[in-house]
C-alpha cells in the first residue's frame, strides 16, 4: 500500500502571497489531519477533515484553511503569508481519526519558506 503523499515537497513564497498544499492519504483512510512544525513551537495541530467535513480545528488564525475531497485527498491553504508561517507542514491519515484504535500515518511533509 502506498503511504501518505504530499505535494509539493518544497515551496518558497513571498510575504503576502497565498499557498496551497496537497495531501493524498493512504488508500481507504478517511481522516486527514494537518500539523505545523517549527523549531520554536514544535508540532501543532491545524485541523482534521473526515468525509469532506472539518471535524476539529486547532488554534490558528483564519488565514489557515483546508478542505477535503470525495476521494479523501485534502488541501490546505494559507493566505496572506507571513514570515512566521515558514515551517514544515505535515499531514497524517488514519482510517477513522485519532481515536483509541487507530494509528496516524504521516507524510514526508512540505517545507514552506516565506521570504
Partner 1 sequence: KQEVTQIPAALSVPEGENLVLNCSFTDSAIYNLQWFRQDPGKGLTSLLLIQSSQREQTSGRLNASLDKSSGRSTLYIAASQPGDSATYLCAVVNAGNMLTFGGGTRLMVKP
Nearest one of 99, 4, 92 to 44, comparing CA atoms: 92
Helix (H, G, I), strand (E, B) or coil at 20: strand
- Cα(first)–Cα(last) distance of the chain, in Å? 37
Residues that bind partner 1 (CB under 8 A): 4, 6, 31, 33, 35, 42-45, 48, 55-56, 58, 88, 90, 92, 97-101, 103-109, 111
* Smaller CB separation from partner 1, 27 or 54: 54
* Smaller CB separation from partner 1, 22 or 105: 105
Cα separation, 46 vs 112, in Å, equals: 15
Minimum distance of partner 1 from residue 40's CB (angstroms): 11
Minimum distance of partner 1 from residue 92's CB (angstroms): 8
Instruction: Give the single-character DSSP code of 39.
Output: T
Cα separation, 102 vs 110, in Å, equals: 24
* Smaller CB separation from partner 1, 66 or 109: 109
Minimum distance of partner 1 from residue 69's CB (angstroms): 20
Amino acid at each position: 500500500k502506498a503511504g501518505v503523499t504530499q505535494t509539493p515537497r518544497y515551496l518558497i513564497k513571498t510575504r503576502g502571497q497565498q499557498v496551497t498544499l496537497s495531501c493524498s492519504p493512504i488508500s481507504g483512510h478517511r481522516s486527514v489531519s494537518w500539523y505545523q512544525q517549527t523549531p520554536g513551537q514544535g508540532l501543532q495541530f491545524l485541523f482534521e477533515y473526515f468525509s469532506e467535513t472539518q471535524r476539529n480545528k486547532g488554534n490558528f488564525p483564519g488565514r489557515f484553511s483546508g478542505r477535503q475531497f470525495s476521494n479523501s485527498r485534502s488541501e490546505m491553504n494559507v493566505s496572506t503569508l507571513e514570515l512566521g508561517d515558514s515551517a514544515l507542514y505535515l499531514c497524517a491519515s488514519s482510517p477513522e481519526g485519532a481515536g483509541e484504535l487507530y494509528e496516524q500515518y504521516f507524510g514526508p511533509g512540505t517545507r514552506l519558506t516565506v521570504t
